[in-house]
Structures are given as C-alpha cells and as structure tokens.
Copies of this chain bind each other. A is one copy, B any other.
Amino acid sequence: MSAAEIGVGMWGYGFMGRTHANAYRQVRHLPGAHAARPRQLVIGGRDGEAARQAAATYGFARHASDWREIVADPEVQLFDNSAWHDVHEEPCIAAAQAGKHVLCEKPLALDADAGRRMLAAVERAGVQHMVAFNYRFAPAVRRARELIAAGQLGEVRRIHVCYFQDHQADASLPSPWGGRSQTGVLDGLGSHAIDLARFLVGEIESVTADIRTFIPERGAGAGSRERIAMTEDDAFSAQVAFSAGALGVLEAAWVYAGSKNALRFEVNGSEGSLSWNLEDLNHLHFNRVPSGSGDPGGTRSLLVTDRGDPYVGAWWPPGHVLGWEHLHANLVAAFVDAIATGEPVAPWGATFADGLRAIEVAEAIRRSAASGRRETVGPPSIGARS
C-alpha cells in the first residue's frame, strides 16, 4: 500500500469505538487511489484488559489504558475520541496541543463553554478537527444538501427533523445508566437532529421548546428492587426559526414505541420538497414542481447509489445498497483526506464549530422549556461557518 498513511489513535472501545474502528479498517482497504490511508495504531480505554481485547479484535497494533499515552504517541497523527462526552474536553485539547488532528464524538462537550475552549484549542493549534455527525455522510443526506443548494426546492420554508428510537419506551426497564454521568435524549439523539437541520437549512435564530421525562422513576438496575429517580429528558419537541426565514420543528425521543432508529427529515420549499428516513437509508424522496407540460411531476424515490450520487464510486455498483456503518466510513475517509490534503472538512463534515453550535441550540431549547418563552440562540462563535 503505497499511499501515505495516517496513524490513528483511538480513545474509547464501546459501541462508538467499535464503529470507528470498523470505519478505519473499511477505508484502509478501499480500492482506488487515495491521498492517504488510515493505519490503526492504538486503541485505549480505562479498562486495560478490555482495551487489549479491543485491539486484538478490531486490528490495532497496540492498546492503552490512559489517553495521555495515545496523545503522547509520536506515530499518532489522528486522535479519535469515541468516548462519552464527559471525557471529551481534556483529551481533545491535549491532543490538539500535541499537534494531533482531532475527531471527536458528539455531543462535542458537556456545555457550550467547554465547547468554546475546545474550538479555541484546535484553531490555535491549526489542526484539522471534526465532530462525528455521521448522518451528514449518508449519501441521501449529502444529496439532499446538494439539491437544496442547487435551488431545486426554491425558497426553503420549513424543515422537520426528528430522531426517534424506542429502547427506553418500556417503563418497567431499569435505568440504562449505572452510577455514571448521564446523557438525555436531547444530547444523545437531539444533537444529530440539530446538526442535520443546520446542515440542510442553515443557522437557527430562536427556539421555543418543551422537554419531557415520561418515566420519572426506574429500577436501579437489572434485578434490583431499588427505585431511582430519572432526571434526564427522554423526549423533546422544539419549534425553531431559521435566520433565512424558514420554520422548523426538531424532535427526539427514545420512548416512542415502534421507532427503531428513525432519524427522519422533511424539507419543504416553494418549488419542491425532500424527505428521508434512516431506516431506509438508501432512498431519498424528492418532489419538484413540474418544469413544463411534459413533466409528470410526482414524488421521486431516488435510490442514491447511482452514477453521480455522492460516495458511490467508493463502494459497490448501483443498487448494491449501503448500510448504517458506511456513514462512519465515509466520515472517516473525509477526515483522513482532509488531513492528507490540508483541505477543510467543512461544509460536508462538521467541525468543532458545528459541534459547539449544536450545543448552543440545545442550551436554548433547555432555556425555553424552562421559561416558556422564545429564546434566541445568539450569533455563532468565530469559526462557526459551515
């Protein structure tokens, strides 16, 4: 393999760690010429034995039980933080200061202030930075943005993005969190909805919102009789106003039975509309006012694996559909490419500025749910240009 190699060090071997590891491996073995290929050097996490097993299973040369080892590793050029958001700030800032390019899972940080410190650090260090908003890398989603940018919808007037799962729907289930710091659905799933809305329609100016904890108490754990109070949100609904004039609705929940992984959007404009559902990720639905009497109009179901579609060249022939894991592979490929070429990851990839912006919107949603008033989000921080 003669292309340049980008040494990768990962922190986190859980669900997201496995997903990122799989993505690096997929990208390394893609056919065709590439600016660079990732090299899986080291994976780490607090439990050294688990890290050792993860390294063996996922194909890393080494393992670590302290993120400082990875940040200090001279071969590591790309620091991938796939851990929970309460361990994002310090390792990412340290990695940037050590000159590593940084890819961080979402949400970027515990709050907007931490996010601003992280953004400042990567900008100061001049390294590439990305937040793992993987749904930007679904071919249908990228295609949607291209169609909007090309004016195919005319003036965008409305977007609805919701992300529904149902794994917490059953009130008899115990709390999914041990004693560990928790994340509600607004952070966990809502951050994806916020980012997609911004990716497709632009900046959000103000919000009104409602937040619910439908199940205020659960068992403490499997088999336990102890009951504990649940304080994290398990559903939210926000109405948003975009700077460009569009209306929006953002929602997320993990307590709505029947939705397995239903990240869905619908965008409506003066000349057309778009819709998508992650559970059917290879199809994008597109409607456009007929261009003349010979145009039958109608809503098109586009199987986005065809010639001209984003990413199709990298994978399989038209109609040989992709799965969920390929979105992370597309994301990782974009980040490795950005590192190799020095080109920005924006606008297709989300930078730390986008990650910060998603937190700022989430914080406005929380403020509005508490105040019962329309809350403005405030202007984007410097650098937050996607």
Q: Does A297 contact B (CB under 8 A)?
A: yes
Which residue on chain B has the smallest CB distance to residue A318?
Answer: B260
Residues of chain B lying within 8 A (CB to CB) of residue A251: 158, 249
Q: Does A379 contact B (CB under 8 A)?
A: no
- Pick the interface stretch among A93-101, A147-155, A353-361: A147-155
Q: Which of B289, B317, B318, B324 contacts A257 (CB 8 A)?
A: B289
Copies, count: 4
Minimum Cβ distance to chain B for residue A16 (Å): 11
Bound complex: CA A31 to CA B58 (Å): 8
Residues of chain B lying within 8 A (CB to CB) of residue A325: 315-316, 320, 323
Q: How many chain A residues touch B (Cβ–Cβ < 8 Å)?
A: 94
Which residue on chain B has the smallest CB distance to residue A164?
Answer: B268
Minimum Cβ distance to chain B for residue A300 (Å): 4
Residue pair A372, B316 in contact (C-beta under 8 Å): no
Bound complex: CA A155 to CA B170 (Å): 10
Which residue on chain B has the smallest CB distance to residue A56?
Answer: B1
Q: Does A133 contact B (CB under 8 A)?
A: no
Contact indicator per residue, chain A 186-215, by CB within 8 Å of chain B (1) or not (0): 000000000000000000000011101010
Residue pair B57, A1 in contact (C-beta under 8 Å): yes
Residue pair A258, B299 in contact (C-beta under 8 Å): yes
Q: Which of B28, B158, B245, B320 contacts A324 (CB 8 A)?
A: B320
> Would you give 17 A-B contacts (Cβ < 8 Å), ordered by A?
A1-B57, A15-B317, A19-B316, A22-B29, A31-B57, A154-B257, A169-B271, A208-B372, A239-B239, A253-B268, A257-B268, A257-B271, A257-B287, A280-B321, A320-B325, A321-B324, A322-B323
Binding site for B on A (CB under 8 A): 1, 15, 18-19, 21-22, 25, 28-31, 56-59, 147, 153-155, 157-158, 164-165, 167, 169-171, 208-210, 212, 214, 235, 237-239, 241, 245, 247-249, 251, 253, 255-262, 268-273, 278-283, 286-289, 293, 296-303, 305-306, 308, 315-326, 372-374
Given A212-B245, A278-B321, A321-B324, 16 extra CB contacts under 8 A: A1-B57, A157-B256, A164-B268, A209-B239, A210-B247, A237-B249, A257-B271, A257-B272, A257-B273, A258-B287, A281-B321, A296-B300, A298-B301, A300-B301, A321-B323, A372-B373
